[in-house]
């Protein structure tokens, strides 16, 4: 039995490795060039501004290796990551990566420009699409593996999880197609479907890119938060004809905050709504490890709880940026 478990673990690790090392095509439809590691947020001027010795910490799923090794029950954790590898997926070929995003790769970035906000959203959705495609491929391989289909108790819950995740990923990828088309029709200047707000707060050395949905109507909007010009910038990009009291409240929840309120709002947003995000080492060194661990477990428990995520009065009860909450 024990040996079986080891064999299964080995197969799982091998599947992860195989997919991670496989060449992928550029995510842009019709482009068959090989994708390079593309950053969701630019490295120069954004990501490197929060790094120490070219590193910071990303909040993400523990590696299958880590998870097997530790018994902490933490599927999510902070991992020290190099700037070159951080916040990136093999999404675009080098040509598309360079040409499409020129106006958000040069300085200064013009945050009054519609196109700039559109590009931040577009890059977010392309990257998340690629991330989902990678997960899809891994799951499909696990489902197809003969040995992982053996009637061993250790495999049963994994198989159930795989089926569930695959169902959700397939649904998400289906939606992505029309979302990407809509953003692309805006890029080609045929339409102007979105509106944006940009807010500035005192600098917190974190970044995150997320795509969220409104609870009632399922409209997609995009939230990018990152340091720029010595401030934390919050960019929210949303369909402009979209009117709903929840969304008004959502925008309000980010507006006119004191520094403390912003710290708390941001902490809840990061742990509740962002799939992966990064933070400077100094912030993590300043908070209690015990409180941090507690918050990680809450975030893990709530990551698929859309009711809590939609509740704008919910606070995770922790402040990542200050000792007093």
Binding site for Zn ion (CB under 5 A): 26, 28, 31, 33, 93, 96
Of 88 and 267, which has the nearer Cβ to Zn ion?
A: 88
Q: How far is the CB of 125 from Zn ion (least distance, A)?
A: 16
* Distance in angstroms (rounded) separating the CA atoms of residues 140 and 42: 32
- Residue 206's contacts (CB-CB under 8 Å, 6 or more residues apart) are 50, 225, 226, 227, 232, 266, 270, 277, 278, 279, 280, 283, 320
Q: How far is the CB of 97 from Zn ion (least distance, A)?
A: 8
Cis bond before residue 108 (omega within 30° of 0): yes
Token readout for 144 is 């197809």
Of 33 and 44, which has the nearer Cβ to Zn ion?
A: 33
Of 96 and 205, which has the nearer Cβ to Zn ion?
A: 96
Of 23 and 157, which has the nearer Cβ to Zn ion?
A: 23
Of 24 and 296, which has the nearer Cβ to Zn ion?
A: 24
Strand-strand pairing, 231-239 and 194-202: antiparallel
- CB burial of 57-76 (b: ≥16 within 10 Å; e: otherwise) equals bbbbebeeeebeeeeeebeb
How many Cα atoms within 13 Å fall on the side-chain side of residue 11? 18
Q: How far is the CB of 12 from Zn ion (least distance, A)?
A: 31
Asked if residues 250 and 269 have their Cβ atoms less than 8 Å apart, the reply is: no
Reduced to 3 states (helix: H, G, I; strand: E, B; else coil), residue 277 is strand
Of 58 and 97, which has the nearer Cβ to Zn ion?
A: 97
Q: How far is the CB of 27 from Zn ion (least distance, A)?
A: 8
Residue nearest to Zn ion (CB): 26
Token readout for 48 is 């490197």
Q: How far is the CB of 259 from Zn ion (least distance, A)?
A: 42
In angstroms, the first-to-last Cα distance of the chain is 48
Q: How far is the CB of 95 from Zn ion (least distance, A)?
A: 6
């Amino acid at each position: 039995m024990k040996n079986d478990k080891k064999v299964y673990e080995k197969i799982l690790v091998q599947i992860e490795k195989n997919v991670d090392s496989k060449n992928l095509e550029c995510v842009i439809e019709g482009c068959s060039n090989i994708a390079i590691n593309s950053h969701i947020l630019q490295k120069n001027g954004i990501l490197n501004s929060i790094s120490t010795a070219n590193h910071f910490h990303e909040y993400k799923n523990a590696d299958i290796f880590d998870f097997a090794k530790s018994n902490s029950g933490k599927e999510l954790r902070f991992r020290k990551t190099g700037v070159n590898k951080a916040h990136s997926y093999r999404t675009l070929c080098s040509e598309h990566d360079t040409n499409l995003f020129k106006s958000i790769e040069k300085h200064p970035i013009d945050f009054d420009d519609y196109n700039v906000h559109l590009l931040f959203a577009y890059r977010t959705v392309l990257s998340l699409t690629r991330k989902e495609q990678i997960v899809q491929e891994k799951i499909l391989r696990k489902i197809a593996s003969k040995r992982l289909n053996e009637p061993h108790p250790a495999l049963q819950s994994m198989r159930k999880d795989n089926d569930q995740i695959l169902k959700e990923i397939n649904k998400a990828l289906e939606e992505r197609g029309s979302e990407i088309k809509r953003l692309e029709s805006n890029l080609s200047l045929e339409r102007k479907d979105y509106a944006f707000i940009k807010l500035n707060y005192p600098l917190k050395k974190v970044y995150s890119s997320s795509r969220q949905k409104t609870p009632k109507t399922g409209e997609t909007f995009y939230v990018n938060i990152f340091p720029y010009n010595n401030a934390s910038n919050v960019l929210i990009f949303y369909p402009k004809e979209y009117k709903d009291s929840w969304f008004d409240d959502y925008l309000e929840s980010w507006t006119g905050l004191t520094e403390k309120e912003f710290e708390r709002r941001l902490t809840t947003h990061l742990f509740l709504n962002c799939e992966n995000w990064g933070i400077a080492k100094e912030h993590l060194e300043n908070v209690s490890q015990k409180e941090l661990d507690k918050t990680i477990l809450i975030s893990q428990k709530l990551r698929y709880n859309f009711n809590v995520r939609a509740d704008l009065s919910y606070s995770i009860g922790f402040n990542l940026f200050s000792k007093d909450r």
